[in-house]
Structure 1
Amino acid sequence: MAGSKQKLFNRLKPFIGVVFLQFGYAGMDVLSKAALNQGMSNYVFVVYRHVFALVVTLPFAVFLEKKVRPKMTFSIFMKIVILSLLEPVIDQNLYFLGMKYTTATFAVSMYNVLPAITFLMAWILRLEKVKLKSVRSQAKVVGTLATVAGAMIMTLIKGPILDLFGTHGSNTHNLENGGINIQHAIKGSVMITIGCFSCACFMILQAITIEAYPAELSLTAWICLLGSVEGGIVALVMERNNFSAWSLKWDTKLLAAVYSGIVCSGMAYYIQGAVMKDRGPVFVTTFNPLGMVIVAIMGSFFLAEQMYLGRAIGAVVIILGLYLVVWGKSNEYESSSTITEDHILPAKQTIEKSSEKDREEHSNFEVITLSKLGAASIAQDEQV
């Protein structure tokens, strides 16, 4: 009974991990949007975020992985340098810039193209198998195209305002947050899409790096350290004449930096690496639609953001497309697991039979040898 529960928990661990990530990201989107609305620089925010993440993860990495941490090589170090540039610097800065031009709900909805981009890049790099005659592969391709179409609908079609949860954008601040114009929407969506490409590259490279450097906490600490340094250089250049941007007080800005650093950088990098070992980078990104739903609800309550019909239709198209991809991936995973088990069991049985046969032959050889020795000793006694 205990063994079956443990087996069920092991199967559910990847799902629990990615769902936790989406709740964490949803809180980050709402808090970061509030901090940006108060005038916080996105470049400084990214630096503080990874400094706080480093402070929290470094002690655990030093003590818990002291015996299992592999030797750092030049190849691994260069991969970590690229990782810290892709996600902590490029992706996050473009994401928060895009959020400034749009809303938190719009930004997280646009980010739902990440699984599709990750899937395409994995296909190009031959990390993802696609057979166009297979129903599963067709579902993945159609789902990928649907996510792109949904993103275009969200960007280009506005429609009437949907009154969700009884919240109205009655004042100027709410209109600025919800009623974004088409130029800002296009500019923000382009930035977020480029950030998605960068994040997809990060996911794939992290999956490759974790195989050569299987110490998730240490890898997380390295990414946060180098991300703080690289992001700090970018922030110093972009905010060179604005030293007040680095000041922090006991307000939403500090809360957003601490929360995002601990939950969405420190814990997120670690959980992503652990899940990738079992399910790969595409699986980690397929639960993004859950974050969109959470942010839409929280944004309506805490930020009084408006939801438009075009954005809602685009989000539905994205979700349908994504779960076509998930369906194709899940069936593929189940079938590959079945095939693996079918191959392992006969091989195991063959090895066991071979071992038994070897033991029998060895024992027979010993009996024959002993018999010969006994016969030889008897003959020697008779001669005497």
Structure 2
Amino acid sequence: MSVASHPAPQTKLNSLGFAKPESETRVVVAMSGGVDSSVVAAMLAEEGYDVIGVTLQLYDHGAALAKSGACCAGIDIHDARRVAEEMGFPHYVLDYENIFKDAVIDEFADSYLGGATPVPCIRCNERVKFKDLLATARDLDADCMATGHYIQRMMGAEGPELHSAADANRDQSYFLFSTTPEQLEYLRFPLGHLPSKDATRALAEKYGLKVANKPDSQDICFVPNGDYAAVIEKLRPGAAEPGEIVDMNGNVLGEHTGVIHYTIGQRRGLGIGGLADPLYVVKLDVDNKRVVVGPKEALATRIVPLAEINWLGDEPFEATPERRIAVRVRSTRAPREAILRSTGPTTGEVELLTPEEGVSPGQACVFYDPEGSRIFGGGWIVKG
């Protein structure tokens, strides 16, 4: 007599993708003290996960206490600790001040002095949060690390993929393009599927979190009120040396008090009024201490050279010399159609089908699926 075979029952995965009970799944939550990461921690704790909260102190604690409107400030450490106490999970504050200065702040200053427009938040994710903090999470025997970023991790045919957030207004993919495939295996982003920030705040209310109505951070944490030049002058005394403002033919139009006070695409505050047509900063000639200005059309860029490319596609980056993709060259701009060409393992160039204004070295160029939500990585814009 034959015995009918029955398929083995499928192993049910928990919400973080592990085939074991929530109580046996340890997750380290990177807590900035804001509403987003607080909701992630509270949500996972309520679901029964073994949650450990970790907050990074990234710069001088005394200065942090005096400053609001930025992540990782002193009041934020207090808020993160309070959420952990209310939800009943352990919380640790790690002093990463020296690591942060070496990996993020110093490069920010040097990049700015070199005439670039850096994005330190990307470097912080890449070199601190998703490197040193992630290593700490592994040391704590965590199965994964969760953050409050608005981005989605989805499983594809070749493994986890990075996708834009469901809410385009909150999407943080521009700041996370350098996340590697290995990091993506370990990371979780529980808020990426939410339809709006209001939904996040509603969850904070549900969990009774006092940070439910806390304002979002606006500034770069170590740049008070967005005054980049003041920070550079403090970090690199004597950096603001005066020089000439010239047109594209080299004609002197005025003087400036330091190249660090200007950015590509800037129109206001040039100090060269009285001209018939508006002029914009089109180039920063650091070696000669010159700010070069020109008409708006001079800002249009079609070819964008890239370095330090992080590729998140299924096939190797160099396997296809030319790809049709969409790219974002500023965090505030929507993706635009482009052609990506590889010129080496981690170098390439993007040809914008419609020229963009104000493309600046030091910014990121992030790659998107032109017909979907997937992110294929990106690279750093360099001087051509």
Structure number having the greater strand percentage: 2
Structure number having the greater helix percentage: 1
Calculate the TM-score normalised by the size of structure 1.
0.26
Larger relative contact order (Cα-Cα within 8 Å, sequence gap ≥ 6): 1
Structure of larger gyration radius: 1
